[in-house]
Structures are given as structure tokens and as C-alpha cells.
Amino acid sequence: MKLFVDTGDIEEVRRAAAWGILDGVTTNPTLIAKAGKGFKETVLAICEAVPGGDISAEVVATDYDTMLKEATEIASWHPQIVVKVPLIEPGIRLVSTLADRGIRTNVTLVFSVGQALMAAKAGATYISNFVGRVDDLADDGMAAVGDTVDMVNTYGFASEVLVASVRHPLHVTQAIQVGAHVSTMPFKIMEMLFKHPLTDIGLKRFLDDWNAAGLKIG
């Protein structure tokens, strides 16, 4: 499974990249606005911080012609960029056009397998299925992810299913269980993946025993 961090904060990206396990970064207009710097400047800094990673940067127009202009501009900034496109009618048309031109896309704001089918058929590189926002409505956000993974596998689509709107480590566990290709998550959730109380207790016991015996390496 690929792991992406979902942030516009370059320091968080650098910290996650230093672990050597980061496959990419997802941003969205909200995260870029929160980062407080220019869009292009932020995206290029992220590309540099994650060499070879897939960096999603989103268009903000909602009509096809302007979306195409924005997508072409964003894609020209760096070869690592994946153009993020909302799942609206002109968005699917845009994904088809970009696929024909060899520009990679991440279709965002996907909540159902029917929407995911449109994205897969248009040639999306990634299909971002949001989980947390559905759970917030007391529904099961992961159900559509499972259906989408089955759909992609059954029909042999090239799209990768990306679990987005991850709110806690259990979402990552569930994403693995349904066979999703990618999970993107806030930096704080990625940090939580390291944690287990028995790891802390176990390490303390090892080190206490070692030190009590007066041992040394070498």
C-alpha cells in the first residue's frame, strides 16, 4: 500500500519524508489556504521534499475550459504533479482529456462506487474515496471503498483506489483489509501508526534490563 500525507504544511511533509516510507502528498484548496503561502510555491517545495513522489494539486474552476487551462498550467510545474479534479461532470470530461494527453489525475470528492466507475472509465490515475466525511454522517464510509476496490479489480481498471478523509488509524487498518491501493492521512495520523503501548512498555523493559546488567555494545 502506498502512503501519502494529506497536508500543505512543508514541515510536516519533510518530517514524513525523512522516515523513508512516504510515497506522495495530497493537497486540496483548504490545505493550501491553511499553509498560508502561494499555491505554486507550496506545491514545488513539496515536490522537492519528496523526490519521485506523487504530489496531488487541485484545480479550482468548475467549468471545463477553465479547468483544462488550470490543469495544463499545474501539470507544467513539475513531472511529479498529479492533477486533482473534483468528481463533477466537467471534471470527468477533463480527466478523459488529460488521460489522452498523458497527464495523471486524482479524482477527488468520490463517495460512491457509481462515481468511482465514472472516474475509472475516464482514466483516472487515482480515485480518492472519502471515508471520514461519510462516517461523520453516521454512515459507513469504508463500504464504498470496498465496493470500488472490487469494481477496479473485477473489470481490470488501471486506477488506484485512494482512501481519503482518514480520521484515525483504524481507517488505515480497514483500508488495508479492503485492499485499497493508497491511504492518505494527516501527519498526526501517520505519526500514530508508530504507536502501541506494548511497544513502549517492551522497550522500557529491554533497556532497563540491559542497563541493570551494565552491558555495552562493542
CB 109, CB 83: distance < 8 Å: no
To the nearest whole angstrom, how small is the minimum distance from the Cβ of residue 136 to ligand E4P?
Answer: 8
The interface with ligand E4P within residues 43-62 (CB under 6 A) comprises none
Please report whether residue 164 would count as binding ligand E4P according to CB under 6 A: yes
Determine which residue in the list 29, 90, 132, 179 makes contact with ligand E4P, applying CB under 6 A.
Answer: 132
Place of cell 471545463: 64
How far CA 198 is from CA of 64, 167, 168, in Å, comes to: 53, 23, 19
Q: Is 37 part of the annotated catalytic residue set?
A: no
Please report whether residue 125 would count as binding ligand E4P according to CB under 6 A: no
Find the catalytic residue in 84, 121, 195, 216: 84
| 61 Cβ neighbours under 8 A, 6+ residues apart | 67, 69, 70
Q: How many residues bind ligand E4P (CB under 6 A)?
A: 11
**Smaller CB distance to ligand E4P: residue 141 or 146?**
141
Alpha-carbon gap, residue 165 to 171, rounded angstroms: 9
The interface with ligand E4P within residues 64-93 (CB under 6 A) comprises none
Alpha-carbon gap, residue 156 to 188, rounded angstroms: 34
Give residues in contact with ligand E4P (CB under 6 A).
Answer: 6, 26, 28, 108, 128, 130, 132-133, 164-165, 184
